[in-house]
């Protein structure tokens, strides 16, 4: 009941004309930018971040939530029509979605993706509403030792357990942690890794890292390896309407995918990649038409798209209640909060109830806006896809450099951007995951603060992390996650 009242109050914040307008701008811009091939939600949020510093926090964060959701909706359009997934979470959608489009069924594919995203996003937002106060309740009992253990858990799953290689994942994480150390130490004022450069004393901004890795690195990679390849854009022919049979096959997939996607989002499991593939294989197993898989089965679009949105909402649970980002996009959203001097966490629900509940209420509103915006207007977004690639990447880089330059009005940020671009190019080329670096940059300084605080409280006694029960269990689970798969690989293959 208390939650219900809080949410009701949230709606009174989200539905003021100004905030409604920011939400609308957010979903529109998010969709428009997210439709661009090669531009995922992380890059969309990062590019638009420096340009909103003058807005009031509630309006700006409502807009960013809209951008976050909108970019994912837009991305599914690109995936289905162009077969170039903008992010790893869309790969599963591309498997069936693009084949449906090739068979002239682009309309129903887009419809099941959009409606499925709406259904999954809305159910997941209800779950977020119910779950968040419970997690807050628990998190209020956390001290620095518990937070540090939880962050170690997040680092380990994102970098070492997920992904194709532990060595490359951890290398990426340590790189991000190193970037996070640059600047003035928050507790003693000592300058670290700044080499006397004033721009570096402020620390490395996540915008520069994310835009460098995702936009500049991607542009260099695409130019160097694939610029002479013609992309084939599938035509959007026929009706958007789903037949009775399409509906019958879609809705169980949406619901199952929501149940898969949301829990995966809430734990630090590296975002939406695993649940989308899980949902794809579940649908494939349960389908009455398994022969259609690989040739455009509608369940194969409905499931992964719904799972993607449900897990994107799930990611907001640890982000809002604990201040812990579990995906690259969430890390950038966290820095959006930090720009306003707001640190998400259990206290935020008490000190800034207006903001948090307004934000959660705006997620309900955003889902409705996106459904309205996407289905009837899909023709406009398709036109965006027809932009030739030289113009497209030229435009993307004009916006990408604008974001970095506006931080300090300095070419030093642009040079740093290029260095990160080279890094992103190498990481893309040699299959080094990018998310651990971005999460390391944002979460590293927070983890260091909690670590030193915990040790200050215990007067330098390092066993504090193992004698506190909650902290010890987080660390035990972390160790198990690393050791068990290794043991299975080593001894399980007899």
With respect to other proteins, which residue has the nearer C-beta, 15 or 178? Answer: 178
Contact string 27-56 vs other proteins (x = CB under 8 A): ------------------------x--x--
Q: What is the rounded distance in angstroms from the CA atom of residue 46 to the CA atom of residue 26? A: 13
Q: Does 216 bind other proteins (CB under 8 A)?
A: yes
Task: Assess contact for 258 and 125: CB atoms under 8 A.
Answer: no
Instruction: Report in angstroms how near the CB of residue 411 gets to other proteins at its nearest.
Output: 5
Which part of the chain contacts other proteins (CB under 8 A), choosing from 131-139, 145-153, 215-223, 265-273? 215-223
Q: Does 18 bind other proteins (CB under 8 A)?
A: no
Q: Does 165 bind other proteins (CB under 8 A)?
A: yes
Instruction: Report in angstroms how near the CB of residue 489 gets to other proteins at its nearest.
Output: 12
Residue ranges in 452-481 that form contacts with other proteins under rule CB under 8 A: 452-453, 455-457, 459-460
With respect to other proteins, which residue has the nearer C-beta, 109 or 434? Answer: 434
Residue ranges in 397-416 that form contacts with other proteins under rule CB under 8 A: 397-399, 401-402, 405-406, 409, 411, 414-415
Q: Does 94 bind other proteins (CB under 8 A)?
A: no
Q: What is the rounded distance in angstroms from the CA atom of residue 466 to the CA atom of residue 471? A: 7
Q: List the one residue from 5, 18, 140, 193 that touches other proteins (CB under 8 A).
A: 193
Q: What is the rounded distance in angstroms from the CA atom of residue 20 to the CA atom of residue 352? A: 19
Contact string 343-382 vs other proteins (x = CB under 8 A): ----------------------------------------
Instruction: Report in angstroms how near the CB of residue 254 gets to other proteins at its nearest.
Output: 30
Q: What is the rounded distance in angstroms from the CA atom of residue 313 to the CA atom of residue 359? A: 12
Long-range Cβ contact pairs of 449-456 (< 8 A, separation 24 or more): 449/144, 449/186, 449/187, 450/144, 450/145, 450/147, 450/148, 450/151, 451/144, 451/148, 452/187, 453/144, 454/143, 454/144, 454/145, 454/148
Q: Does 393 bind other proteins (CB under 8 A)?
A: yes
Q: Does 391 bind other proteins (CB under 8 A)?
A: yes
With respect to other proteins, which residue has the nearer C-beta, 174 or 340? Answer: 174
Q: List the one residue from 177, 204, 210, 297 that touches other proteins (CB under 8 A).
A: 177
Q: What is the rounded distance in angstroms from the CA atom of residue 191 to the CA atom of residue 171? A: 24
Residue ranges in 274-313 that form contacts with other proteins under rule CB under 8 A: none
Which part of the chain contacts other proteins (CB under 8 A), choosing from 67-75, 217-225, 248-256, 335-343? 217-225
With respect to other proteins, which residue has the nearer C-beta, 251 or 405? Answer: 405
Instruction: Report in angstroms how near the CB of residue 397 gets to other proteins at its nearest.
Output: 5
Contact string 229-248 vs other proteins (x = CB under 8 A): x-------------------
Residue 316, CA distances (Å) to 77, 149, 166 in order: 23, 20, 26
Q: Is 452 exposed, middle or buried (0-12, 13-18, 19+ CB in 10 A)?
A: middle
- Which positions lie near other proteins, rule CB under 8 A? 51, 54, 164-165, 167-168, 170-171, 173-175, 177-178, 181, 185, 187-188, 190, 192-193, 216, 219-220, 222-229, 388-391, 393-395, 397-399, 401-402, 405-406, 409, 411, 414-415, 417-418, 421, 426, 429-431, 444, 448, 451-453, 455-457, 459-460
């Amino acid at each position: 009941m208390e939650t219900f009242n809080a949410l009701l109050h949230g709606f009174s914040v989200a539905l003021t004309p100004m905030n409604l307008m920011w939400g609308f701008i957010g979903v529109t811009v998010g969709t428009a930018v997210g439709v661009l091939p090669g531009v995922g939600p992380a890059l969309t949020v990062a590019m638009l971040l420096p340009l909103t510093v003058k807005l009031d926090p509630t309006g700006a964060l409502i807009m960013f939530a809209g951008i976050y959701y909108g970019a994912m909706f837009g991305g599914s359009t690109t995936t289905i029509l162009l077969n170039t997934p903008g992010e790893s979470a869309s790969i599963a959608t591309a498997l069936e979605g693009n084949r449906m489009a090739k068979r002239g069924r682009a309309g129903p594919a887009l419809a099941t993706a959009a409606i499925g995203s709406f259904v999954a996003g809305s159910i997941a937002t209800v779950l977020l509403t119910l779950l968040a106060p419970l997690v807050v309740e628990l998190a209020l009992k956390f001290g620095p030792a518990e937070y540090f253990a939880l962050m170690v858990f997040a680092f380990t799953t994102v970098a070492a357990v997920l992904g194709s290689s532990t060595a490359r994942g951890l290398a990426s994480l340590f790189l991000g942690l190193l970037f996070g150390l640059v600047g003035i130490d928050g507790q003693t004022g000592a300058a670290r890794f700044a080499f006397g450069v004033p721009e570096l004393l402020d620390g490395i901004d996540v915008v520069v890292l994310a835009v460098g890795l995702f936009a500049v690195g991607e542009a260099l990679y695409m130019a160097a390896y694939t610029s002479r390849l013609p992309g084939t854009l599938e035509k959007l022919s026929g009706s958007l309407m789903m037949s009775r049979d399409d509906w019958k096959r879609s809705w169980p997939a949406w619901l199952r995918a929501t149940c898969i996607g949301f829990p995966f989002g809430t734990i630090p499991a590296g975002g939406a990649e695993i649940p989308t593939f899980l949902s794809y294989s579940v649908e494939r197993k349960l389908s009455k038409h398994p022969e259609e898989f690989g040739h455009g089965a509608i369940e194969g679009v409905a499931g992964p798209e719904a799972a993607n949105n449900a897990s994107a909402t799930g990611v907001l649970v640890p982000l809002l209640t604990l201040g812990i980002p579990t995906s690259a996009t969430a890390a950038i959203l966290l820095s959006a909060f930090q720009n306003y001097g707001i640190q998400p966490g259990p206290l935020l629900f008490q000190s800034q109830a207006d903001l948090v509940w307004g934000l959660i209420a705006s997620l309900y509103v955003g889902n409705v806006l996106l459904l309205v915006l996407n289905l009837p207007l899909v023709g406009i977004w398709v036109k965006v896809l027809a932009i030739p690639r030289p113009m497209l990447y030229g435009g993307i880089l004009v916006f990408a450099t604008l974001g970095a330059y506006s931080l300090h009005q300095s070419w030093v940020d642009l040079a740093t951007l290029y260095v990160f671009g080279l890094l992103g190019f190498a990481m893309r080329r040699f299959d080094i995951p990018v998310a651990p670096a971005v999460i390391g940059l944002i979460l590293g300084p927070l983890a260091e603060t909690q670590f030193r605080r915990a040790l200050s409280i215990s007067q330098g006694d390092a066993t504090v992390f193992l004698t506190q029960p909650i902290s010890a269990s987080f660390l035990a689970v972390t160790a198990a996650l690393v050791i068990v798969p290794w043991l299975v690989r080593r001894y399980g293959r007899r």
